[in-house]
Each structure stands twice: as structure tokens, then as C-alpha cells.
Amino acid sequence: MATTFETPEKADGERRFFLILTTIITVAIVAGFSVNLGMGRSTFAVPLPYHLHAVIFFTWVVLFFTQNVLITKNQVGLHRTLGMVSIVWVPLMVAAAIYLMFVVMQRTGGPFFFAQNVFFFSNLTEVLCFAGLTFAGLRARRHTGWHRRLMLCGFALLSNPGFGRLLPLPLLIPYAWHVMVMVVLAFPVAGMIRDKAKLGHVHPAWWWGVGAIVASQIVADLVAMSGFGIGIVEQLVAGTPGGERPMEAFLPPGFSL
């Protein structure tokens, strides 16, 4: 994990590239929620856990974007100081995400275009993967190449809700969730392509990041499709409004985009 020498031009170019990727993800997240709100597909009239989750996660989006702006402007000191917030904020995000998952499953059963078992376990493994990649990136902060790539892979996982609200997921049943995963992977793949073009090789951090994302989804699928996983979800939603919908993905009667 040794550091490599970078010319100022190469360093600045890489920083700008990561800022561009971060900006695309940030815009997608904001646009996804804004478009759905504007079209009446979502509302602020939801229980408190939804609002807490939104504030906690959006704060991270703002923080991550700000961190990339700071490093692009070479404000390393402030970048490092703000980075310490992650030590507390990431566990808070994990706790908020897991708690909201239980609330969503029992309140609505999850979006109709996802199978309940896939939605539940994929969300759990995704947020844990995000935390793992982010903490791995923080631990490697003295090694810039590893740090920024692992952090970006973790941040890319947060684009799922944004792109998920922009894509016609009902038309992608039963592959809706996995299509979103492919969108997430487009960001590290873009990084790989740039590395190959600019450096002549792909930085190993990208392979670790992609490997972690793919592995977490494989684990989620294996558990979700098992009798154990299905049983867990059935017990979770039993006797609640979420248990009134089918386990599998479906299109509601009279549905239209």
C-alpha cells in the first residue's frame, strides 16, 4: 500500500476527476428525491424515522461533496479535520438505515417493484458494505490512491436511492434491484478506465471496491432466496400492513408510469 509519486498536474487532474464523479452522484441523489416529490410519488407526511434517516444521510452527502471540493482546492488541513466526523457519522448512518428498514418493511412492505426478501437483505448488506468501504478508506487515508478510491466506492453505493427514483424500475421487474447495482458499479468502472488511460494500470483499490460491492450483493441474494431469509421476512411483516402485499415484486392494478 505504498504511496507513489505524483506530479502536481497528475494530482490536480485526479482530484478533479473524483470531484466530477462525486458531483454526478450528489446530483443524482438530490434529483431522484426532488423529482419524486415534485411528481407526488413521495411526501413529507411520513413517520419520524424517515425524516431522521433523510437528515443523517443527506448530511453525509453534503459532507462528502464538501470534502472533495476542499481537497480539490488543496485545503488539506480542513479536509482532514472534517474527516474525523466520519468516525461517528458512519455508524450513525448504519443504525438509522437498519432501523428504517424495519419500519418500512412493516409499514408498506417496501417498494412494489422489489421482492420483499431481496429489498430487505440487499439494503442491509449494502449499508454494511458502505460502512466497510468507508472505514477502509479512512484507515488508508495516508495512502491517497487507496483512500479516495475506496471512499468513492462507498459513496457510490448511496446513489442507489437517487438513481432508483429516476429509472423506470417497475418496468425492470424482476431485475430492478440488480439494475441499480450495475449503475453503482459504473462509477468505479469509470475510475478503472481513467486509471488505465492515465496511469497505464488499474489501481487495486478499485478491484477491492468492486469486489466488495459484488460480494455483498451475492451474500444478500443467497440469504434472501434461502428458506431462512424468506422466513425472516415473513415473520417481520406478519400482522402488519407490510404483510398484506405479495413477497415477490408486482405491478399494482391500474399502474402507469
Residue 6 burial by Cβ neighbours in a 10 Å radius (0-12, 13-18, 19+): middle
Residue 182 CA to residue 228 CA, distance in Å, equals: 27
Residue 119 CA to residue 110 CA, distance in Å, equals: 7
| Distance, C-alpha 16 to centroid of its chain | 21
Residue 86 φ then ψ, to 5°: -60, -35
Summarised one tens digit per residue, pLDDT across range 215-225 is 999 999 999 99
For residues 16-30, average pLDDT? 96
Rounded to 10 degrees, what is the CA torsion of 182, 188, 190, 195?
-150
Summarised one tens digit per residue, pLDDT across range 140-198 is 999 999 999 999 999 999 999 889 899 999 999 999 999 999 999 999 999 999 999 99
The three cell numbers locating residue 241: 400492513
Domains of the chain, by residue range, sit at: 8-243
Confidence of residue 7 (pLDDT cuts 50, 70, 90): low
For residues 58-80, average pLDDT? 95
- Output DSSP code: residue 2: -
Amino acid in position 76? V
Residues with Cβ within 8 Å of 11's Cβ and at least 6 positions away in sequence, in order, are none
Whole-angstrom CA distances from 207 to 105, 214, 227 are 33, 10, 32
Predicted TM-score (pTM) of the model is 0.91
Summarised one tens digit per residue, pLDDT across range 90-129 is 999 999 999 999 999 999 999 999 999 999 999 999 999 9
Summarised one tens digit per residue, pLDDT across range 39-51 is 777 778 899 999 9
